[in-house]
Amino acid sequence: MPPIAATSCLFSLALACLLSAACSAGAPEKPALDAAAILSARAKKDDFMRNHPQSPFKRDPSVTFAPLKYFPPDAAWVFRSKLQPYAHPEPVTILDTKGRKREGVIYGFLTLVKDGRSHPVRVYRMTTPGGGFHHAVWFTDRTTGDTTYEVGRYLDFEKVDDPGHVYTLDFNLAYNPYCAYTSVYACAIPRKEDQLDLAITAGEKKWHD
């Protein structure tokens, strides 16, 4: 299985591309929120989870599918930021939910500005089998373990070579890794440094009570 359960990213990646105002240099400072697109993508993801052979509910028949749960789409949780790479990325070992180690570096950070306060959102570059790598963003916040999954949530991140690129950081697209639905899967556990001192009431909620 890919280090971050890549199959769980299929629909969030497509939606991120659709909604990202940062795809063009002349994007507005605050991207518009396409709530209809978000709701449509969520319905398609439910269909995937219910029916697709790669769904975690197909991988583990002991777990009965139920629709995923979300906060309503909210433009207040969409931010724009340049990526600030570190001159000397720090090597890091990430533990997963099965106790295994995953190696990578802390590549840099994006900045979330909310209510006059700045919060760094770290971007990791994780190694993959065969010597490749991928970038990853994960986090916990004040909702973690309450209304959202107790391990944490993920955001898809695709690095652009242009150092002046402005990224869209949309927490409406925050999702649970597959280990939120079944212990068949293992997922990376956000570090304490990835805790955001905010109640991020956007994106996917805890699947089960």
Does residue 200 form part of some domain?
no
- Tens digit of pLDDT per residue, the chain (209 long)? 444 444 444 444 444 444 443 333 343 456 678 999 999 999 999 999 999 999 999 999 999 999 999 999 999 999 999 999 999 999 999 999 999 999 999 999 999 999 999 999 999 999 988 889 999 999 999 999 999 999 999 999 999 999 999 999 999 999 999 999 999 999 999 999 999 999 999 999 999 86
- Domain span at residue 144 reads 6-194
Task: Specify the number of domains making up the chain.
Answer: 1
Residue 1 in any domain: the answer is: no
Query: What's at 164, amino acid-wise?
Result: G
pTM of the model: 0.84
Q: Is 129 within the bounds of a domain?
A: yes
Q: Is residue 199 part of a domain?
A: no
